[in-house]
Amino acid sequence: MEIHYGYNDLDLRKPVVTMGIFDGVHRGHRTLLDTLVNRAAATGGESVAVTFDPHPRLVIEKNKTKLSFLSTMDEKTELLEKAHIGHLIIIKFTPGFSRMKACDFVREVLADKIKTKHMIIGHDHRFGYRGEGNFKTVNECASSLGFIVEQIRGLQSREGAISSSLIREALLKGNLDNANKWLGYCYSIRGQVVTGKGIGRKLGFPTANIKPGYKYKLIPANGVYAVEIKAGNEIKSGMLSIGTNPTVNQRQVKKTVEVNIFDFEKDIYGQEIEVVFRYRLRSEKKFDSLEQLSYQMMQDREVAMGLLL
C-alpha cells in the first residue's frame, strides 16, 4: 500500500475511491473495502482509501474530555494495509478544512485532484461542512463530474449495523465478546511500561503498569481480562486489570491498566508493549482484605491460563 499525505501531485490509474474515518477498521469497513478492491480489479483501476488525521471530532468538538477512539493513525494504517488497498490518502483535518462544503470537496478533491472514476460510499457516511454530505449529495455532484457513485449497505448484527460507535459502546460496557466479533479481530492497546506502587508484587503477582501511548485510545470497562502480551519479539499470556484498585485505595483515584505476564521475569520498564484483549473474566470488585484479593487473583490466573494456553 502506498501512502500519500495530502492530495497534490497524485498520479493514479482510473482510481476507485472510498473515504471515511475508519476508526477500528471493523468488519463493516472491511465489507466496504473488499468491494473497493474488487471493483478496482474488475475495472483495471487502482483502489484508493481517503481518510483524515487527526480525527475530525478532535478539531470540531470543543469539549474533548469524553472522546475516545478504537485506533490510532498508525493502527488504522496497519489495518487498512491488511485490506490490500493500493493507495491510502491521508488528508490533514484542520479548522479551515472542516468548513469546506460537501460539493466543493467532491469537485475540488475527489474529481480535480484525485480524478476519481468510481466512488464507493458507506450506507451512513456523512462528510463536509456540518455533515451535509451523504450519498445523495455525492451522486448529485458527481453526475456532472464524470464518475460513478455506488452505495454499500451496512453489515448487520442483532444490535443493528456494525459501526465504530457500536463497538466503542460495547467495550465501555464490558461486552468484549461482541466488540471483538464486530471488529473481526481482538481489540488491543499499546503503551509504555511505567513504574507502579508494587502492590501486585507484594501479593505474588507482579504487574506491569501500562501508560497508553495515545491520549484518546479507548480503555475498556473496568475489570479483569485474559490477554496476550506482545513484548519485543515475544508473545506471552497474562491477565490484566483495569480500574482504581478499590481494595487498596480507600478513595477515588485515577484508573490504572496493569498486566501480570505469566512466566515472565524480564525487566521491561520503559519499553512499549501491546496488550491484546481475548476474554473478559469479571468486573472489578472491592475485597475485605488483601488475602481475599490474592486468592481471587490466583483463581483469575487459573481461568485465564485455561482460556489462553
Q: Using the predicted structure, report yes or no on whether residue 238 has a pLDDT greater than 70.
A: yes
Residue pair 304/281 in contact by the 8 Å Cβ criterion? yes
pTM (2 d.p.): 0.93
Query: Cα(302)–Cα(306) distance, rounded to whole angstroms?
Result: 6
Residue 67: is its pLDDT beyond 90? yes
CA–CA–CA angle 159, 160, 162 (5° rounding): 105
**Which residues sit opposite 212 in a β-bridge?**
191
H or E stretch covering 298: helix 290-308
Domain coordinates in residue numbering, the chain: 2-161, 186-308
Predicted confidence band at 204 (pLDDT cuts at 50, 70, 90)?
low
Q: Tell me how far apart the terminal alpha carbons of the chain are, to the nearest angstrom.
A: 35
Q: Tell me the CATH number of domain 186-308, given options 1.10.4030.10, 3.20.20.150, 3.30.1330.120, 2.40.30.30.
A: 2.40.30.30
Can the peptide bond before residue 95 be classed as cis, meaning omega within 30 degrees of 0? no
Closest of 307, 21, 5, 291 to residue 167, by C-alpha? 21
CATH topology of domain 2-161: Rossmann fold (3.40.50)
> What phi-psi label fits residue 307: left (phi over 0), alpha (psi between -120 and 50 degrees) or beta?
alpha
What pLDDT is attached to residue 145?
82
When mean pLDDT is compared across 71-80, 87-96, 128-137, 278-287, the lowest value belongs to: 128-137
At residue 151, what are phi and psi to the nearest 5 degrees?
-105, 135
Lowest mean pLDDT among 191-195, 249-253, 284-288: 249-253
Span of 32-46, 81-95, 134-148, 204-218 with lowest mean pLDDT = 134-148
pLDDT of residue 266: 83
- Decide which of 127 and 215 is more confident: 215
Mean pLDDT, the chain, whole residue set: 91
- Calculate mean pLDDT across residues 271-288: 95
Q: Is 90 exceeded by the pLDDT of residue 225?
A: yes
Check pLDDT > 70 for residue 188: yes
pLDDT tens for each residue of 126-153? 777 676 777 777 777 777 888 888 888 8
pLDDT at 252 over 70: no
Ranking 197-201, 248-252, 275-279, 298-302 by mean pLDDT, the lowest is 197-201
What are the catalytic residues? 258
Tens of pLDDT, residue by residue over 102-129, are: 888 888 999 999 999 999 988 777 777 6
